C-alpha cells in the first residue's frame, strides 16, 4: 500500500507539472484544471479503496502494526560497557512512542485502531473530492455552482470532526496496546553490575496518552470559510444572470 501511494504521488506531480507547462505555453488554464480534476477523482477513488482495505487489514489479519505511547525511555548499559557513538551525545530525553507488529491484540484496541486508520483515508478523500468538484464546475463555466459550496461544507465537517476523532481513537487504541504489551505481572533476575532493575533498564513502561489536536479545527474552519465564499459567489452569479 505504501508503494502504491508513492507511485500515485509521483504520477500526480508529473501530471500536474505537464499540465502547468502546457497551460503556460498556451496561456490557457484549461489543461491544468482538467488534469487537477482527473487527479482529484482518482485520488478520491483511491482513498475510498484505501479506507476499506485498511479497515479490513486491521480487523481480519492476525497481526496488527500499531503505534503506541510509552513512558519516556532510554536503555541503560551495564557497568563496564562502553559504546563509541557519533559527535552528538544525549543529554536528556528518550523514546516516547514505538511502532510494533503485535499478535493477540484485544478486540477493542484493534477496532479503534482500524477506525482511526480508515478515517485518515476518508479525510484525504473528502479534500480530493472537493478539488475535483471545484475543477469540474470551473470547466463547465459555473465556478460558483451550489454543489461546490455543499461539497466544501461536507468536507469541512469531515476534516474537522474526522480529524479530531481519528487522533482520539489513535490515542485510545495505542494506549490500550501499550498496556497490553508492556505491563508486567512479575519476573526475576540475577544481579547485573550497574543495573538495579532490568525491567526499568531495558523494557519500556506502558502509559496512557490521548491528545486532542487543533489542526483539524483550523482546517475545518478554513473549508467552512471557503464554502461561505462559494455560496456568496453563487448568489452574486445568480444576480448577475438576472440582470442580463
pLDDT in tens, 21-66: 555 555 556 777 787 888 888 889 989 999 999 999 999 999 999 9
Beta-carbon count within 10 A of 121 CB: 19
Distance (Å, whole) CA 16 – CA 58: 33
- Looking up cell 487537477 gives 36
Break the chain into its structural domains and give their ranges: 25-76+95-183+197-238
For residues 207 and 97, the answer to whether their CB atoms sit within 8 Å is no
| Average pLDDT for 150-177 | 95
| Predicted model pTM | 0.80
Residues 6+ apart with CB under 8 A from 214: none
pLDDT in tens, 164-192: 999 999 999 999 999 999 987 777 777 87
Taking alpha carbons only, the member of 139, 157, 136, 142 closest to residue 226 is 157
Residue 244 has pLDDT above 90, yes or no: no
Distance (Å, whole) CA 192 – CA 31: 70
More confident call, 7 vs 81: 81
Q: Helix, strand, or coil here: 79? A: coil
Distance (Å, whole) CA 137 – CA 134: 5
pLDDT in tens, 62-106: 999 999 999 999 888 887 787 887 788 888 889 999 999 999 999
Q: What is the dihedral of CA 124, 127, 131, 133, to 10 degrees?
A: 110
Distance (Å, whole) CA 131 – CA 89: 47
| Average pLDDT for 149-153 | 91
pLDDT in tens, 108-143: 999 999 999 999 999 999 999 998 998 888 888 787
Q: Is 64 left (phi over 0), alpha (psi -120 to 50) or beta?
A: beta
Amino acid at each position: 500500500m505504501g508503494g502504491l501511494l508513492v507511485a500515485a504521488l509521483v504520477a500526480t506531480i508529473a501530471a500536474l507539472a505537464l499540465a502547468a507547462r502546457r497551460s503556460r505555453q498556451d496561456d490557457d488554464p484549461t489543461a491544468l484544471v482538467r488534469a487537477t480534476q482527473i487527479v482529484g477523482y482518482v485520488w478520491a477513488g483511491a482513498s475510498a479503496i484505501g479506507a476499506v482495505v485498511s479497515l479490513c487489514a486491521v480487523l481480519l489479519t492476525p497481526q496488527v502494526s500499531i503505534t503506541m505511547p510509552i513512558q519516556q525511555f532510554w536503555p541503560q548499559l551495564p557497568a563496564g560497557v562502553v559504546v563509541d557513538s557519533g559527535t552528538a551525545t544525549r543529554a536528556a530525553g528518550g523514546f516516547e512512542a514505538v511502532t510494533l507488529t503485535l499478535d493477540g491484540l484485544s478486540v477493542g484496541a484493534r477496532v479503534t485502531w482500524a477506525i482511526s486508520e480508515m478515517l485518515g483515508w476518508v479525510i484525504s478523500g473528502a479534500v480530493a473530492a472537493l478539488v475535483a468538484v471545484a475543477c469540474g464546475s470551473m470547466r463547465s463555466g459555473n465556478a460558483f455552482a451550489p454543489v461546490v459550496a455543499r461539497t466544501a461544507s461536507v468536507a469541512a465537517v469531515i476534516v474537522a470532526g474526522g480529524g479530531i476523532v481519528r487522533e482520539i481513537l489513535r490515542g485510545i487504541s495505542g494506549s490500550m496496546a501499550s498496556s497490553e504489551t508492556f505491563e508486567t505481572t512479575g519476573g526475576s533476575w540475577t544481579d547485573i553490575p550497574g543495573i538495579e532493575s532490568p525491567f526499568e533498564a531495558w523494557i519500556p513502561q506502558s502509559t496512557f496518552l490521548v491528545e486532542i489536536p487543533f489542526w483539524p479545527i483550523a482546517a475545518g474552519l478554513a473549508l467552512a470559510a471557503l464554502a461561505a465564499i462559494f455560496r456568496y459567489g453563487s448568489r452574486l452569479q445568480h444576480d448577475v444572470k438576472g440582470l442580463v
